[in-house]
Amino acid sequence: MPGPPNGPTPPDGSPLRPDSLVVAGGRPHEAGDPINRPVSFNSTYRTGGRLAYAREGNPTWAAFEEVLGALEGGSCLAFASGMAAAAALLETLPAEARIAVSGVAYHGLGELVRDRAAAGRLRPEFVDAADLDEIASGCDGAALLWLETPTNPLMGIVDIAAAARIAHERGALVVVDNTFATPLRQRPLALGADVVLHSATKFLGGHADLLLGALVSANGEALERIERRRVVDGSVPGVMEAFLALRGVRTLAVRLDRGERNAAELARRLAGHPAVERVRYPGLPDDPGHRLAAEQMSGFGAMLAFETVGDAAAADRVCDEVRLINHATSLGGVESLLERRARYPTEVRAGTPPTLLRLSAGIENVEDLWADLDRALAEATA
Ligand SMILES: *Cc1c(COP(=O)(O)O)cnc(C)c1O
Report the nearest-CA residue for atom 11 of ligand 1. Answer: 106
Query: Which of 64, 148, 201 most suits a substitution to test ligand 1, by most atoms within 8 Å of the C-beta?
Result: 201
Q: Which helix (H) or strand (E) holds 276?
A: strand 276-280
CA 63 vs CA 28, 164, 181, 189: distances in Å: 9, 30, 22, 21
Please name the residue whose Cα sits nearest to atom 12 of ligand 1.
106
pLDDT value at position 10?
65
Q: Is the CB of 83 under 6 A from ligand 1?
A: yes
pLDDT at 5: 39
- 215 pocket-lining for ligand 1 (C-beta < 6 Å): no
Say yes or no: CB of residue 182 within 6 Å of ligand 1.
no
106, 159, 229, 340: which one is catalytic?
106
Q: Where are the domains of the chain?
A: 18-249, 252-380
CA 83–ligand 1 middle distance (angstroms): 6
Q: What is the pLDDT of residue 8?
A: 57
What pLDDT, on the 0 to 100 scale, is given for residue 173? 98
Nearest CA to ligand 1 atom 4: 82
CB-ligand 1 contact for 106 (6 Å cutoff) = yes
Question: Is residue 45 flagged as an active site residue?
Answer: no
Q: Decide whether any atom of ligand 1 lies within 6 Å of the 307 Cβ.
A: no
Q: Is 202 in the pocket of ligand 1 (CB under 6 A)?
A: yes
Which CATH code fits 252-380?
3.90.1150.10
Note if 177 is an active site residue. yes
Q: How far is the CA of 180 from the centre of ligand 1 (A)?
A: 9
d(C-alpha 266, C-alpha 206), whole Å = 20
pLDDT given for residue 11 in this prediction: 63
Q: Which atom of ligand 1 is nearest to the CA of 180?
A: 13
E-assigned strand segments in 4-127: 75-79, 97-102, 122-127
Q: Based on the residue annotation, tell me whether 202 is a catalytic residue of this protein.
A: yes
Which ligand 1 atom sits closest to the C-alpha of 152?
13
**Is the distance from the beta carbon of residue 152 to the nearest atom of ligand 1 less than 6 Å?**
yes
Query: Is residue 5 lining ligand 1, measured as CB closer than 6 Å?
Result: no
pLDDT at 291: 98
Q: Which of 116, 202, 229, 258 is catalytic?
A: 202
* pTM for the predicted model, two decimal places: 0.96
Whole-number Å distance between alpha carbons of 18 and 16: 6
Q: Is 199 in the pocket of ligand 1 (CB under 6 A)?
A: yes
Instruction: Please report the atom of ligand 1 found closest to the CA of residue 212.
Output: 7
Angle, CA 179 vertex, CA 309 and CA 233 arms, to 5°: 125
Name the residue of 199, 204, 330 whose CB sits within 8 Å of the most ligand 1 atoms, as the mutation to test its pocket. Answer: 199
CATH T-level assignment (fold) for domain 18-249: Aspartate Aminotransferase; domain 2 (3.40.640)
Whole-angstrom CA distances from 74 to 188, 205, 277, 338, 345 are 11, 20, 41, 33, 36
Average pLDDT, consecutive stretches of 10 residues, N- to C-terminus, the chain (382 residues): 46 85 96 96 97 97 98 98 98 98 94 97 97 97 98 96 98 98 98 98 98 98 98 98 98 98 98 98 98 98 97 97 98 98 89 96 98 97 84
- Give dist(CA 125, CA 144) in Å, integer: 11
Helix (H, G, I), strand (E, B) or coil at 170: coil
Q: Is 252-380 the same fold as 18-249?
A: no
Pairing assessment for the beta strands 173-177 and 326-327 based on DSSP bridges: unpaired
Per the annotation, the verdict on 53 as an active-site residue is no
Residues 6+ away with beta carbon under 8 Å from 254: none
For the Cβ of 60 lying below 6 angstroms from any atom of ligand 1, the answer is no
